[in-house]
């Protein structure tokens, strides 16, 4: 084998020399596998024959039928290698399965080898112990380098195409094409030459978008945010700058491992998701977003399969960045999973964290979270992530920078605005809330005859909004206490304490009043000639009107008091009458003898003696 042969090529030649009867190669690249097999056959003095369902064996149409093709293999001379393309739809047929088992015994005593080449692995249980399976890996960096060099040589004579690449540029191009098949890489190299007259990394990364889109689970994000658009976070930026070249061969030869990932904790709207997009732009790597909601499915076992598929897709386009937004919501209920969903969430989460610990591909994981209390403890330990950063609310200097960034993005000159005043007024605001303040001020100015937005418009928009840090003050304090000893700060600047925000606002308002009073005192006194101006007589009339109004209000209050007293007296009188009626009900009525009617006989003598008065008479 040549010195630059891949491991799978060496393994394939070893199996042929060891007279393995049937080899199943799983690969989408028929042409690349054919070239490798043809080189092996030339070195070993063997003849290679190809079979397809449309052309038969070596163009023999009579052998189009799968059974006829297997009979052709039996009757062919030794020292031959037979390659059956896309044979997987027929291998599960009962007759084909039986014929293959018969063929194995014959091939073991000969120098013939049968190779099944298919993009899908499909084996009946009867053949699992008889067939050797090889996953033919995607092109290595060396394979892509040979392909790139061949394209450069073919267009070098064209002066309009830039083919001179520095060693670093060449390595970046090859890294961008890593994860593509040889056919895909060749196509995207040609496309880049046509569109950009050179090898453009963005065009090459765009080809990977097709692979991600076909997976249906991952989402591909194009580069839209520069790292300069992230306000503050100097410690986090420094950490990322140190790892910009960590995926290069030079870093690997130096002994540096490829970074695994980081976890961003913090207040909502403080730029965690923006950092993920900016890192992809800084490192010039594809950004893949994992939507955990797409992982879970109603079919038993499909959720675990979707997670494995997502991981395989991310590794196939590596080096890449895998972004998981709001991690605690995606894997919520992990602890109660055995009782709620039969353990599906636990198994999916276990697959994910095991991959994070043992992954070999250059896939950098960026996870964000707003509620650290919902994260499983096994996710926080060292080895899953390289670092855990806490993203706090922006401080004064960071808020000033954020205002400047968003004004620039909307074609405004930040120097025309009082950024210091805006930074003071926005104490407690997150980066996302500051952006919405700028947008609201622009809407207000646009609706007011499309005039230019001013600092006063921005201050008004600040007063009209209540930041989340006010309504969620207790939660932010709790998050800060947790991160104080468990996470690394993303910024070196100190955020103003929450207790001082109201005082800061009062100080600013007092300063504005003093400034307005000073301006009014410094202005020269001018006579007021306007008919609408107030005079001393007007002030006296206003005082008299105010006194009359107070007298009227006092009279109304006195009348209301009289009415209340009368109502109370009536209520008390009625209450006493009711009490007397209740007391009368409690006393039993006197017993009066019944008087008989005239037509009736007199009743019997009463059993109760008649009552006597004080004189003794009845």
User: Among residues 387, 179, 375, 364, which one has the least CA distance to residue 263?
Assistant: 387
> What does the pLDDT read at residue 568?
62
Number of other CB atoms surrounding residue 275 within 10 Å: 27
In a domain, 615, yes or no: no
Q: Alpha-carbon distance 151 to 2, whole Å? A: 22
Same domain, 110 and 86: yes
Residue 28: domain span: 7-135
Does residue 225 contact residue 232 with C-beta atoms inside 8 Å?
no
Does residue 290 contact residue 322 with C-beta atoms inside 8 Å?
yes
Q: Tell me the mean pLDDT in the region 341-360.
A: 82
Instruction: Give, in order, the Cα–Cα distances in Å from 186 to each of 147, 149, 151, 196, 366.
Output: 7, 11, 8, 15, 31
Same domain, 408 and 438: yes
> What does the pLDDT read at residue 379?
80
Q: Alpha-carbon distance 10 to 5, whole Å? A: 7
Q: Alpha-carbon distance 388 to 393, whole Å? A: 17
Same domain, 378 and 403: no
For residue 301, name the pLDDT band (cuts at 50, 70, 90). Answer: low
Same domain, 362 and 239: yes
Q: Alpha-carbon distance 524 to 296, whole Å? A: 75
Instruction: Name the domain boundary from 160, 178, 212.
Output: 212
H-type helices in 361-500, by residue range?
A: 396-409, 419-425, 431-447, 455-464, 468-471, 473-486
Sheet holding 112-118, edge to edge: 56-57, 47-52, 80-85, 112-118, 22-26, 132-135
Q: Tell me the mean pLDDT in the region 450-472.
A: 88
The encoded tokens of residue 612 equal 């006597």
Same domain, 345 and 409: no
Same domain, 335 and 440: no
The encoded tokens of residue 32 equal 């690349």
In a domain, 556, yes or no: no
Whether pLDDT at 383 is above 90: no
In a domain, 288, yes or no: yes
Same domain, 238 and 344: yes
Name beta bridge partners: 365.
261, 322
Instruction: Name the domain boundary from 78, 100, 135.
Output: 135
For residue 521, name the pLDDT band (cuts at 50, 70, 90). Answer: confident
In a domain, 587, yes or no: no
For the ranges 96-105, 113-122, 554-563, the lowest mean pLDDT is seen at: 554-563
Query: DSSP assignment of 244-286, as one string?
Result: TTTTSHHHHHHTPPPP-EEEEEE-TTSSHHHHHHHHHHHHT--
In a domain, 184, yes or no: yes
> What does the pLDDT read at residue 504?
55
Give the total residue count for the chain.
Answer: 618
Instruction: Name the domain boundary from 341, 362, 391.
Output: 391
For residue 408, name the pLDDT band (cuts at 50, 70, 90). Answer: very high
Q: Alpha-carbon distance 348 to 296, whole Å? A: 9
Q: At 485, which CATH number?
A: 1.10.8.60
> What does the pLDDT read at residue 83?
95
Instruction: Enumerate long-range contacts of 417-426, CB under 8 Å, 24 or more apart.
Output: 417/454, 417/455, 417/458, 418/455, 421/455, 421/459, 421/508, 422/455, 422/458, 422/459, 422/462, 423/396, 423/397, 423/399, 424/396, 424/504, 424/508, 425/459, 425/462, 425/505, 425/508, 426/399, 426/462
For residue 380, name the pLDDT band (cuts at 50, 70, 90). Answer: confident
Does residue 438 contact residue 432 with C-beta atoms inside 8 Å?
no
Greatest alpha-carbon pair distance for the chain in Å reads: 157
Q: At 362, which CATH number?
A: 3.40.50.300
Residues of the chain with pLDDT > 90, as a percent, come to 30
> What does the pLDDT read at residue 598?
45
The values of phi and psi at residue 132, to 5°, are -95, 130
Q: How far is CA 520 from the centre of its chain?
A: 53
Same domain, 235 and 378: yes
Number of other CB atoms surrounding residue 437 within 10 Å: 26
For residue 451, name the pLDDT band (cuts at 50, 70, 90). Answer: very high
Angle formed at CA 158 by CA 156 and CA 164, multiple of 5 degrees: 45
Whether pLDDT at 334 is above 80: no
Residues of the chain with pLDDT > 70, as a percent, come to 80
For the ranges 296-310, 389-403, 550-564, the lowest mean pLDDT is seen at: 550-564
Q: Alpha-carbon distance 54 to 70, whole Å? A: 15
> What does the pLDDT read at residue 551?
67
Same domain, 196 and 260: no
List, in order, residues 6 or more apart from 581 with CB less than 8 Å away.
none
- The residue with tokens 């580069």 is 223
User: Among residues 265, 259, 490, 217, which one has the least CA distance to residue 375?
Assistant: 265
For residue 545, name the pLDDT band (cuts at 50, 70, 90). Answer: low
For the ranges 26-40, 76-90, 172-186, 396-410, the lowest mean pLDDT is seen at: 172-186
173-201 confidence digits (pLDDT tens): 888 888 888 888 999 999 999 988 888 88
In a domain, 603, yes or no: no
Which of residues 41 and 520 earns the better pLDDT score? 41
Name beta bridge partners: 175.
none
Whether pLDDT at 412 is above 90: yes
Same domain, 188 and 267: no
In a domain, 563, yes or no: no
H-type helices in 359-430, by residue range?
A: 396-409, 419-425
- The residue with tokens 């594809």 is 286
> What does the pLDDT read at residue 605?
45
62-78 confidence digits (pLDDT tens): 889 999 999 999 988 88
- The residue with tokens 């609706």 is 447
Number of domains forming the structure of the chain: 4
Same domain, 208 and 231: no
Range ranked top by mean pLDDT from 95-99, 135-139, 303-307: 95-99
In a domain, 55, yes or no: yes
6-24 confidence digits (pLDDT tens): 788 899 999 999 999 999 9
Same domain, 262 and 241: yes
Q: Tell me the mean pLDDT in the region 53-62.
A: 88
557-613 confidence digits (pLDDT tens): 777 677 767 766 665 565 555 455 555 554 454 454 444 444 444 444 444 444 444
244-293 confidence digits (pLDDT tens): 888 877 888 888 888 889 999 988 888 888 898 889 888 888 889 988 87
User: Among residues 344, 331, 339, which one has the least CA distance to residue 384?
Assistant: 331
Instruction: Give, in order, the Cα–Cα distances in Å from 240 to each of 136, 178, 215, 362.
Output: 35, 22, 29, 16
The values of phi and psi at residue 50, to 5°, are -110, 140
């Amino acid at each position: 084998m040549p010195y630059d042969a891949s491991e799978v090529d060496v393994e394939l030649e070893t199996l042929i020399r060891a007279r393995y009867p049937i080899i199943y190669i799983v690969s989408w690249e028929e042409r690349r596998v054919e070239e490798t097999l043809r080189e092996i056959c030339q070195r070993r003095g063997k003849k290679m024959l190809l079979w397809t369902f449309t052309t038969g064996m070596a163009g023999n149409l009579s052998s189009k039928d799968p059974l006829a093709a297997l009979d052709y293999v039996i009757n062919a001379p030794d020292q031959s290698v037979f390659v059956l393309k896309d044979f997987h739809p027929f291998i599960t047929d009962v007759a084909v399965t039986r014929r293959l088992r018969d063929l194995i015994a014959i091939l073991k005593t000969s120098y013939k080898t049968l190779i099944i080449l298919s993009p899908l692995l499909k084996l009946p249980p009867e053949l699992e112990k008889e067939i050797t399976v090889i996953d033919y890996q995607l092109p290595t960096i060396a394979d892509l380098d040979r392909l790139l060099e061949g394209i450069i040589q073919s267009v070098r004579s064209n002066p309009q195409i830039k083919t001179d690449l520095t060693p670093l540029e060449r390595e970046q191009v090859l890294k961008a094409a890593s994860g593509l098949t040889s056919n895909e890489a060749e196509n995207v190299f040609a496309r880049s030459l046509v569109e950009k007259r050179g090898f453009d990394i963005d065009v090459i990364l765009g080809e990977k978008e097709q692979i991600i889109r076909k997976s249906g689970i991952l989402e591909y994000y194009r580069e839209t945010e520069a790292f300069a658009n992230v306000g503050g976070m100097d410690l986090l930026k420094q950490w990322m700058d140190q790892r910009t070249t960590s995926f290069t061969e030079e870093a690997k030869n130096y002994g540096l491992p490829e970074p695994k990932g980081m976890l961003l904790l913090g207040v909502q709207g403080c730029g965690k998701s923006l950092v993920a997009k900016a890192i992809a732009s800084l490192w010039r790597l594809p950004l893949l977003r994992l939507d955990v909601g797409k992982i879970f499915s109603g079919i038993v076992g499909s959720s675990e399969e979707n997670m494995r598929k997502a991981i395989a897709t991310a590794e196939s386009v590596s080096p890449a960045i895998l972004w998981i937004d709001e991690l605690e919501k995606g894997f919520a209920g992990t602890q109660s999973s055995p009782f709620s969903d039969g353990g599906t969430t636990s198994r999916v989460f276990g697959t994910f964290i095991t991959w994070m610990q043992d992954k070999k591909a250059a896939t950098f994981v960026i996870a964000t979270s707003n509620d650290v209390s919902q994260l499983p403890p096994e996710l926080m330990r060292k080895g899953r992530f390289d670092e855990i950063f806490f993203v706090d609310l922006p401080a004064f200097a960071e808020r000033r920078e954020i205002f400047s960034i968003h004004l620039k993005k909307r074609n405004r000159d930040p120097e025309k605005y009082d950024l210091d005043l805006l930074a003071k007024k926005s104490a407690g605001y997150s980066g996302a809330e500051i952006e919405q303040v700028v947008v609201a001020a622009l809407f207000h100015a646009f609706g007011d005859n499309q005039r230019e937005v001013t600092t006063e418009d921005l201050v008004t928009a600040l007063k009209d909004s209540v930041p989340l840090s006010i309504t969620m003050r207790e939660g932010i304090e709790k998050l800060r206490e947790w991160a104080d000893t468990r996470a690394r700060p993303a910024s070196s600047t100190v955020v103003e304490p929450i207790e001082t925000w109201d005082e800061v606002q009062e100080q600013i308002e007092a300063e504005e009043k003093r400034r307005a009073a000073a301006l009014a005192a410094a202005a020269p006194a001018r006579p007021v000639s306007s008919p609408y101006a107030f005079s001393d007589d007007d002030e006296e009339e206003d005082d008299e009107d105010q006194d009359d109004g107070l007298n009227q209000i006092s009279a109304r209050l006195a009348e209301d008091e009289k009415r209340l007293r009368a109502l109370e007296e009536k209520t008390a009188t009625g209450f006493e009458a009711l009490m007397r009626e209740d007391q009368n009900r409690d006393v039993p009525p006197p017993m009066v003898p019944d008087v008989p009617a005239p037509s009736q006989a007199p009743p019997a003598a009463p059993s109760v003696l008649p009552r006597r008065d004080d004189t003794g008479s009845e």
